[in-house]
């Protein structure tokens, strides 16, 4: 899944400094530690979790899946009778158990459902991760804001839109927390980029396939991948990408023409 940049791009990519040239090495993902790993390794951890299916799930994943399949959570999402905060908190824990090794809830992370309107803000949600080193250890705190989507009238569709935003931002927080803090190890397009670099794109593609799998979770979430890829590439100079298939896109969905990117068939609800 992680092709070399030379294979991905049809022209030169923005340069960045490798960890070897900055005089440090990243810790193996098998010994997970905040702020100590390459972006691609952190993304690969999420991809590995998202790619598992029965009977290869961990005990934690099996328990979470059994709870999800009990049907109570899906029923609540459809009726929205319960407090939205309770519903989103339940899904936060479910996503964390299934895709992030239950690591997000062990850290300092807060999720807020705001009263701001998605249609007015032109953004469905936001997240902020604060990282600092204390006595040789990296500590992080994350905040996720999910904005209202009242322009979507159906209760279930509105809930699914919000859950898409939640999972989208959980991934950003996870990558931000565990990727090496050295700017040259996280700021390149092939890493975390400006906001949604290739590490986020790779992991988001795996997550989207997992939640939408009709034989697995059958949860129709869209993580705004095409919109975020186009936005990210524009920030780097509008250069074309050769292999859109890396993220499951076709030339009809994303087009580079006349020196700019355009989105064809959107992967999100309008």
The model's pTM: 0.85
Q: How far is Cα of residue 243 from the mean position of the Cα atoms in its chain?
A: 20
The whole-number mean pLDDT for each consecutive block of 10 residues of the chain, a chain of 270 residues, reads 34 39 74 90 97 96 94 68 80 97 90 91 90 77 93 90 97 95 92 94 98 97 94 80 87 81 61
Q: How far is Cα of residue 15 from the mean position of the Cα atoms in its chain?
A: 24
Residue 240 has a pLDDT of 65
pLDDT single digits (tens) 200-216: 999 999 999 999 999 99
Distance of alpha carbon 82 from alpha carbon 86, whole angstroms:
7
Q: Which residues contact 52 (CB under 8 A, 6 or more apart)?
A: 58, 61
Residue 69 has a pLDDT of 92
Residue 17 has a pLDDT of 35
Listed by start position, the domains of the chain span 34-224
Residue 80 has a pLDDT of 58
Residue 84 has a pLDDT of 85
> Angle formed by the axes of helices 198-212 and 84-99, to 10°?
110
Distance of alpha carbon 45 from alpha carbon 29, whole angstroms:
8
């Amino acid at each position: 899944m992680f092709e070399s940049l030379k294979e991905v791009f049809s022209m030169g990519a923005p340069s960045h400094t490798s960890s070897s040239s900055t005089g440090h090495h990243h810790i193996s993902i098998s010994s997970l530690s905040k702020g100590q790993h390459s972006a691609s390794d952190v993304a690969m951890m999420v991809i590995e979790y998202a790619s598992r299916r029965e009977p290869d799930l961990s005990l934690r994943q099996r328990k979470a899946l059994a709870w999800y399949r009990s049907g109570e959570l899906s029923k609540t999402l459809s009726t929205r009778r319960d407090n939205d905060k309770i519903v989103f908190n339940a899904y936060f824990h479910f996503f964390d158990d299934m895709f992030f090794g239950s690591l997000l809830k062990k850290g300092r992370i807060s999720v807020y459902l705001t009263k701001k309107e998605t249609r007015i803000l032109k953004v469905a949600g936001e997240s902020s991760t604060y990282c600092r080193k204390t006595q040789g250890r990296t500590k992080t705190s994350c905040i996720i804001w999910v904005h209202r989507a009242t322009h979507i009238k159906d209760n279930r569709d509105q809930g699914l839109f919000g859950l898409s935003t939640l999972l989208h931002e959980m991934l950003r927080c996870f990558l931000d927390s565990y990727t090496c803090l050295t700017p040259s190890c996280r700021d390149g397009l092939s890493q975390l980029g400006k906001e949604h670099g290739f590490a986020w794109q790779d992991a988001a593609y795996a997550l989207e396939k997992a939640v939408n799998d009709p034989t697995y979770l059958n949860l129709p979430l869209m993580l705004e991948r095409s919109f975020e890829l186009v936005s990210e590439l524009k920030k780097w100079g509008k250069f074309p990408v050769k292999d859109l298939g890396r993220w499951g896109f076709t030339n009809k969905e994303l087009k580079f023409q006349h020196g700019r990117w355009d989105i064809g068939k959107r992967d999100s609800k309008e």
